[in-house]
Amino acid sequence: MFIKPFAAIRPNEIAADQVAALPYDVYDREGACAAVQGKPLSFLNIDRPETQFAPDADMYGSEVYAKARELLDARIADGTFVKEPTPCFYLYELEMAGRAQTGLVACCAIDDYLNNTIKKHENTLEAKELDRIRHIDALDAQTGPIFLAYRDEAQVNALVAKIQTNTPLYSFMSEDGIAHRVWRISGEQEIDALAQAFEAVPAAYVADGHHRTASAVKVGLARRAQAQEAKTFTGNEEFNYFLSVLFPESQLRILPYNRVVHDLQGLTEEAFLQQLSSVYKVSAAQSEPFEPQEKGAVALYMRGAWYKLQVRSECTSEDPVEGLDVTVLQQRVLAPLLGIDDPRTNSRVEFVGGIYGLDELVKRVQKADAAASAAGTFAQNGPAVAFAMYPTSIEELLSVADAGLLMPPKSTWFEPKLRSGLFIHQL
């Protein structure tokens, strides 16, 4: 596949740790506003510019996106951000609990996304795309790197290992205990060697950032059409490429993406467990929480008790999508038993990343039960329930994408999260 270096806008070495921020989409509005308090350099101020306005302001108003551009220009003017004089690659290493993963920061071609050299495994929502399209257009830049995976290539691994013996450009610890290190690759020989080594990589996969990718591609295509109409298009314009960090699949870790459903849609606990037994073997209740230890296992929490579920053999499949644990749960439990036909839009279901642990599932179930009791609907609709999943594997993800298929929403939760603001690709 094709990769190219770019002249990044990036924080100066002193400000990098203050600028680096979690991705815009891990926060709701209230959380984003809280996260930027006392942190004027945090890139979240630019990534979520509605944080600069009153809570009741339209977060999608044109003045909000204009504010993002104003803040970026101000940080460039005051030297917080600098621009590389020449195109570079970068290595970006994240270390969490002693486990490191190192990606190559580069630009990928929107045409490789369109021709399926860069493969996806999830659908996107148009409303979410539009927000990022407007953000990219306002800043004339891509600010959130796309998290791509690729199957290991020995020559790439060897080049990366050699570069990591050099002194890093950035090295800092974020508040959540993740170590971040960045190396700049500016030498012509190293750049050429990496670009050539990636020619042996047949495909890359969108691991995290489907909406950012789709938005970047749509902005690029719109600008391409304008340039073609003006007869100025060359194919070398920066809008033909999007900001990416490419990781070898062997280094990646996927955590489970758990589910909380606010009620049993009128079923009693006994009736629900009875119907559930046609899909899973249901163990006796226990008070101690536990995490699933194998594919096909689910931990169910309801009314203070935990049940181990093991999928029945007749409900499994060799199909890359039908065989996913999250598909079995969605198609055989959430939709037919609990009325969650479209998990992307149904307000009765919440998705909880595995990084938050089982305690978070208990809290959300208890919160839903308390809300239903206060509203007088508990007896009618039944208690809330949580499903702790066994994580989807990286090989399952690649197999689904290779087959040209799509996973159910919220199938994978990657940790650690890439920070935004360390690399900006100007269009």
Structure confidence by residue, pLDDT tens digits, 148-194 = 999 999 999 999 999 999 999 999 999 999 999 999 999 999 999 99
Nearest CA to 78 out of 40, 45, 21, 39 is that of: 40
Nearest-5° Cα angle at 131, 232 to 229:
15
In angstroms, the CA 109 to CA 244 distance is 10
167: left (phi over 0), alpha (psi -120 to 50) or beta: beta
- Residue 125 pLDDT greater than 80, yes or no: no
Share of the chain above pLDDT 90, in %: 95
Categorize the per-residue pLDDT at 124 as very low, low, confident or very high, splitting at 50, 70 and 90. confident
* Crossing angle (nearest 10°) for helices 126-139 and 62-77: 40
Judge residue 86's burial from the number of C-beta atoms within 10 Å of its C-beta, 0-12 exposed, 13-18 middle, 19 or more buried: exposed
Instruction: State which amino acid sits at residue 114.
Output: L
Q: Quick one: average pLDDT of 419-424?
A: 97
Structure confidence by residue, pLDDT tens digits, 13-25 = 999 999 999 999 8
The sign of the dihedral angle between the CA atoms of 219, 222, 228, 231 is: negative
DSSP strand pairing (280-282 vs 305-311): antiparallel
Are the beta carbons of 380 and 287 closer than 8 angstroms?
Answer: no
The reported pLDDT for the residue numbered 244 is 98
The reported pLDDT for the residue numbered 30 is 95
Structure confidence by residue, pLDDT tens digits, 94-120 = 999 999 999 999 999 999 999 999 999
Structure confidence by residue, pLDDT tens digits, 219-245 = 999 999 999 999 999 999 999 999 999
In angstroms, the CA 351 to CA 12 distance is 37
Residues 6+ apart with CB under 8 A from 385: 260, 261, 264, 272, 300, 301, 302, 365
Nearest CA to 389 out of 353, 343, 336 is that of: 353
Instruction: State which amino acid sits at residue 104.
Output: L
In angstroms, the CA 188 to CA 185 distance is 9
The reported pLDDT for the residue numbered 19 is 98
Please give the structure tokens belonging to residue 93. 């290493």
pTM summary value: 0.92
Structure confidence by residue, pLDDT tens digits, 372-396 = 999 999 999 999 999 999 999 999 9
- Residue 127 pLDDT greater than 90, yes or no: no
Maximum Cα–Cα distance for the chain, whole Å? Answer: 71
DSSP string, 184-238: EE--HHHHHHHHHHHTT---EEEEE-HHHHHHHHHHHHHHHHHHHHTT---S-SG
